Each structure stands twice: as structure tokens, then as C-alpha cells.
Amino acid sequence: LSCEQATQARQKRMENRLRKDPATKPPLLKDRRLHHIRSISLAVWKHAEQIPEAVLQRHRTEIRKHFRLPDDADIPAELLEEGSRLETHTPNPKYVPGADLVAAALQTEEDIEAFIVGWRKHFLSVVKPRYMPIGWSAESPVHSDVREKE
């Protein structure tokens, strides 16, 4: 694995461990109905002559219904083209980015320190640096002057 792949795999494992509700995972949801309309619009638009008549009539009925056309209306090519370009994915209102899950899990200074030490160890095991500053250690305490100035 490359360094980037190993890092992404670690991030994914961490996210999966922290995610309690699977409905919060996909950022986009596929609308199967819109996907179907897009598919049959494209088929009717590009290949109507190859589709059996009964199937073609069923597709046209569904397309008319979707676009709220009268039952006997002709379907213009522009409308079929529009149907073939329908966006079939919508944002998931329950989606929670992995970074938000991690941030929410870091409640105490001990949590933050363990998180940082874990990433330091990951860095050492994946990058395998040949030269490091004297005295540097993955286990070194995490220190910040920010809290001292407050």
C-alpha cells in the first residue's frame, strides 16, 4: 500500500468504528424512481425503434406520468433528452462526515492525546522515516501553549 492508501484505510476504519447509524454514511442517496425514468427516457430517445411496442408504450406512459403530460400527448425529443439527464442522486440529510465523527469522539484531553499518538505511530509505521529530530517520539506528551495563554 502507498502511504496515502494506508492513511485512507486507517481513516475509514476509524470512521466505521465511530459511526453508530449507517443511515448517516452515504453523502448522496440514489433515487431509484428518477434513475428508472432517466433510463427509460434514454432508451426511448435513442433506441425507440428497437424496443418492442408493448414495452415502448409502457415506457412512454411512465415518462408522460413523470412529466405530467396528458395520456395521449406526444413526447417531444427535447423532453426525452431532459429525462435522460435527470439527476438521480440527492444529498443525504442524515449524512455526517467522518471528520465530524472523529471530532465529536475527542471529548477529553486524554482522547485527543491518544488520537495524536495513534497518528504519530501510524506515520512511523507507514512512512518509515530514516531521519527524525533528536528526542522525537510517538509517545511524547502532547503539549500546546494555547491553553496556558488563556
pLDDT, one tens digit per residue, over 9-31 is: 999 999 999 999 999 999 999 99
Is residue 150's pLDDT more than 70? no
Q: Which pLDDT belongs to residue 143?
A: 73
pLDDT, one tens digit per residue, over 31-79 is: 999 999 999 999 999 999 999 999 999 999 999 999 999 999 999 999 9
Is residue 147's pLDDT more than 60? no
Q: Kindly list the distances between the CA atom of residue 42 and the CA atoms of 31, 46, 60, 125, 136, in Å, as whole numbers in the listed order.
A: 17, 6, 11, 50, 61
Kindly report the length of the chain: 150
Q: For residues 22 and 25, what is the distance between their CA atoms, to the nearest angstrom?
A: 5
